[in-house]
Amino acid sequence: MYDSAVPSEKAILGSILLSGDLAYQRCTRLRTEMLSLESHRRIYDVMVEILTTGSDVDYLILRHALEQKKWLEAVGGIGYISDLGSDLPRHFDPSAHIDIVIDAWKLRQVRRICQTISSRADDGVETAGELLNAMQAQVMDLLVEADSRDQPLVLHYSIPELNKLLQQAAFPPTKLVGMSYGIPKLDEFTDGMRNGQVTVVGARSGVGKSSIMLQAAHVNCRKGIPVHIFSLEMTKEQCLRRLWAIESGVPFNRVNKPALASARELESIKVAAQRVAEWPLRIHDKAELDLSQMTALARVSVRRHGTKLFCIDYAQNVEADGRDERTKVARVSKTLTKLAKDEGAHMMLLSQLRKPPSEMYGKPPHVGDLR
């Protein structure tokens, strides 16, 4: 099927032939896969290779490079590349045509997503909710992929960043730059959890990973910062009881077994539960949540509720593709890191460490155990 963006693709390639690097600098948003024709993708790739080596592009250089790759006939031969740019003025600005090509690529991706989801719906294996989550995740990824490539010069964001630094310099030395972990010594050492970053908390089973997560949720919710917990280990009711213990100061064993609590402690728990109920906190405890569903829910949470801190308990429980546990967890970590950067939130990712050999029992773990 003929793509209406083909004439614009030819105009872009022709402008690079005419103006070389000057035209190519306007193509920072354009990627090879956005071109609809395989022949145009090959020509564009060769042009980029030539320009990135510091050489100029002209018809003879382009022809020679295509011949070396044995692509010349596949792209239409000498006649086709000679015709590129033949009707364009010198120093032609391809910007408008780049917009057309990118928009056409977006439409192709939308059709692909719709066809994929439609095919999965016909299979009847997945629920409507699962399909909607998958579709939303793909659409969100497309929006980020399509819009984040047009990067301005450093001039446009260096001054705002400098102003932010100067504002931070005016803070009292004890004031955190990021969000608190709820543990003063850890805050002092790290300067808090900053937006767009990921904290990985690795520990062996039963050491207190979930406690750190809930401590962080507690201190930030009390400040009015929206928090979203993906608790794939504990139920939301278990999370709540632990939070009530932190807020009330009543030992957790008495919150967990209220028959052991005194009347005063029960009243403290009641008051704490009422405070927690007013926090900007969401707890998602669906055990079989997969990575695409999680990222879709997280993006919605940012847009609807302004969520700034996400806690995932824990990485090995997230359903994700991977030939083994190591590659699966690596995919989870990579995806969540990208999500944190895209959405300007902070991710706290809990992870189990490998079981140590017998001679290492009782010794502190190291980074190799996390890998």
Residue 160: partners with Cβ closer than 8 Å, 6 or more residues away: none
Residues 260 and 133 in one domain: no
On whether residue 71 sits in a domain, the answer given is: yes
Residues 144 and 233 in one domain: no
Report residue 153's pLDDT band, with 50, 70 and 90 as the boundaries: low
Measured at the alpha carbon of residue 194, what is the angle toward residues 190 and 197, in degrees to the nearest 5?
A: 100
CA-only gyration radius of the chain, Å:
27
User: How far, in Å, CA of 264 to CA of 241, rounded?
Assistant: 17
On whether residue 348 sits in a domain, the answer given is: yes
| Alpha helices by DSSP H, the chain | 6-19, 21-24, 38-52, 59-68, 77-83, 95-123, 128-147, 155-169, 184-190, 209-222, 236-248, 252-256, 263-276, 291-305, 325-343, 367-370
Residues 326 and 194 in one domain: yes
What is the helix (H) or strand (E) element at residue 178, kind and residue range?
none
Question: How far from the centroid of its chain's Cα atoms is residue 274's Cα?
Answer: 34
CATH number at residue 103: 1.10.860.10
Asked if pLDDT for residue 318 goes beyond 80, the answer is no
Residues 188 and 321 in one domain: yes
Query: What is the β-pairing status of strands 309-313 and 198-203?
Result: unpaired
Q: Is the C-alpha dihedral spanning 59, 61, 66, 70 positive or negative? A: positive
On whether residue 342 sits in a domain, the answer given is: yes
Q: For 56-88, what is each residue's pLDDT tens digit?
A: 888 889 999 999 999 999 999 988 988 887 778
User: How far, in Å, CA of 303 to CA of 343, rounded?
Assistant: 9
On whether residue 332 sits in a domain, the answer given is: yes
Domain of 65 in residue numbering reads as 1-151
Residues 98 and 190 in one domain: no
Please state whether the predicted TM-score (pTM) of the whole model is above 0.75.
no
Long-range contacts of 274-279 (CB under 8 A, 24+ apart): 275/247, 276/221, 276/240, 276/243, 276/244, 276/247, 279/221, 279/222, 279/227
Asked if pLDDT for residue 31 goes beyond 80, the answer is yes
Per-residue confidence (pLDDT) for residue 46, from 0 to 100 = 92
CATH number at residue 212: 3.40.50.300
Tally the domains of the chain: 2
Q: For 181-195, what is each residue's pLDDT tens digit?
A: 888 888 888 888 888
130 CB neighbour count, 10 Å cutoff:
15
Residues 196 and 245 in one domain: yes
Nearest to 39 by CA among 2, 10, 8: 10
Share of the chain above pLDDT 90, in %: 26
Per-residue confidence (pLDDT) for residue 149, from 0 to 100 = 47
Residues 43 and 112 in one domain: yes
Q: What is the rounded average pLDDT of the residues 276-296?
A: 82
Least confident of 166-175, 183-192, 294-303, 348-357: 166-175
Residues 245 and 141 in one domain: no
Q: Is the C-alpha dihedral spanning 143, 149, 155, 161 positive or negative? A: positive
Residues 144 and 282 in one domain: no
Per-residue confidence (pLDDT) for residue 370, from 0 to 100 = 60
Per-residue confidence (pLDDT) for residue 3, from 0 to 100 = 65
Measured at the alpha carbon of residue 278, what is the angle toward residues 191 and 345, in degrees to the nearest 5?
A: 35
Residues 189 and 292 in one domain: yes
Q: For 218-228, what is each residue's pLDDT tens digit?
A: 999 999 999 99
Residue 291 vs residue 360, higher pLDDT: 291
Q: For 87-145, what is each residue's pLDDT tens digit?
A: 787 677 888 898 899 889 989 999 999 999 999 999 988 888 888 888 887 887 776 66
Residues 249 and 349 in one domain: yes
On whether residue 169 sits in a domain, the answer given is: no
Phi first, then psi, for residue 55 (nearest 5°) are -90, 160
Q: What is the rounded average pLDDT of the residues 328-350?
A: 84
Asked if pLDDT for residue 365 goes beyond 70, the answer is no
On whether residue 171 sits in a domain, the answer given is: no
Residue 285: partners with Cβ closer than 8 Å, 6 or more residues away: 231, 232, 234, 235, 236, 239
Residues 132 and 248 in one domain: no
Report residue 357's pLDDT band, with 50, 70 and 90 as the boundaries: low
